Amino acid sequence: MSYVSEENLCIMADLIRRVVIVGGTHGNELTGIYLVKKFQKFPHLLHRKSLECFTLLANPEAIAANRRYIDRDLNRCFANEDLVNPALTSYEDKRAKQIAAQLGPKSQPKADVIIDLHSTTANMGLTILPSSKHPLNLRLAAYLSTLSPLVRVCYGVQFNQDAPVLRSLSPLGCTLEVGAIAQGVLNADYLQQTELLVHAILDYLDALNQGKFLPVPSSLSVYQIISSVDYPRDSSGELQAAVHPQLQSKDYKPLSDGEPMFLKFTGESIPYQGEDIVYPVFINEAAYYEKKIAMILTCQQQLSLETVDAGDD
């Protein structure tokens, strides 16, 4: 465990100059797309004394088609081995290589901070998926959590180098997952809340560059991904059940052994079975049916921000 003081952060922060705000990694998640378009139309909104802010619409063809992707999920195309594999020539593979050339490589990122704006059909509120467990990410997430009770922090399984997601091009930054919002729908309320978070991130970084520390709580609740659960299916892969009505929209709520998880089309409940209380997230996300994910189980952890481990990525 390495103790990270505000002074250490300040030294690291000297490197934070270039911030990239990404929308449209998925072409039917309109929140990020319209927010980036707004920033492109009114660039003064992103002006901060110590920062250079850039915007990127990551998947233009998918945005035009109002689809998540054209050939394959762009946000699974950023694994290192895929980025250097010339045999991968789908639209999204080519696009990932272009973006990695612009913002990466992961070993020496040109972007200091990447904020990738997503939405989800699950009731995820304002979820922050940090790009790494870097203490700056965590303190930033803790700062954002003071702004809205809807802000929650979710740790992925893979970070940085190992992860195939766009945000992995830089160790600093995060994905924002905002919802519940249907695909192809613009929700004004979430659009405003997402914009507030982006401004808060820029303000935090700008203050840090100037040696100022915006207040953060002394500890942070994070949800660490454990595993995913698929829908019950028959031998041909057809769904046999839906998420149980008692679990629908209950993202981040505790789920205990014996509580209902799925409802079979024939009427029987299928309970969660497990000794540990879990906190399901991404419950019934539309885009995850094809990934065979009905929900993702997490455990809740309380992190002390005084003793964040910076080397546990």
Where on the chain is the footprint of a second copy (CB under 8 A)? 34, 37-38, 42, 66-67, 121, 180-189, 191-192, 238-239, 242-245, 248, 263, 265-266, 284, 286-287, 289-290
Q: Which lies closer to a second copy via its Cβ, residue 125 or residue 135? A: 125
User: To which residue do tokens 């309109």 refer?
Assistant: 30
User: To which residue do tokens 């952060």 refer?
Assistant: 9
The secondary structure element, H or E, covering residue 301 is strand 295-304
Rounded Cα distance, 50 and 216, in Å: 21
Q: Which lies closer to a second copy via its Cβ, residue 134 or residue 244? A: 244
Strand-strand pairing, 269-271 and 260-264: antiparallel
Q: Which lies closer to a second copy via its Cβ, residue 243 or residue 255? A: 243
Q: Looking at the chain, how many residues does it have? A: 313
For the CB of residue 163, give the shortest distance to a second copy in the complex, in Å: 25
Q: Report how far apart, in Å, the C-alpha atoms of 267 and of each of 244, 245, 262 are.
A: 10, 12, 10
Q: Which lies closer to a second copy via its Cβ, residue 101 or residue 286? A: 286
Tokens of 224: 């660490």
Q: Which amino acid is at 194?
A: T
Q: Which lies closer to a second copy via its Cβ, residue 64 or residue 84? A: 64
For the CB of residue 231, give the shortest distance to a second copy in the complex, in Å: 8
Sheet hosting strand 279-281, strand order edge to edge: 52-57, 18-23, 113-119, 172-179, 125-130, 151-155, 219-229, 295-304, 279-281
Q: Which lies closer to a second copy via its Cβ, residue 28 or residue 168? A: 28
Q: Report how far apart, in Å, the C-alpha atoms of 210 and of each of 9, 45, 196, 225, 311 are.
A: 12, 19, 21, 34, 25
For the CB of residue 38, give the shortest distance to a second copy in the complex, in Å: 5
For the CB of residue 30, give the shortest distance to a second copy in the complex, in Å: 9
For the CB of residue 265, give the shortest distance to a second copy in the complex, in Å: 5
For the CB of residue 18, give the shortest distance to a second copy in the complex, in Å: 25
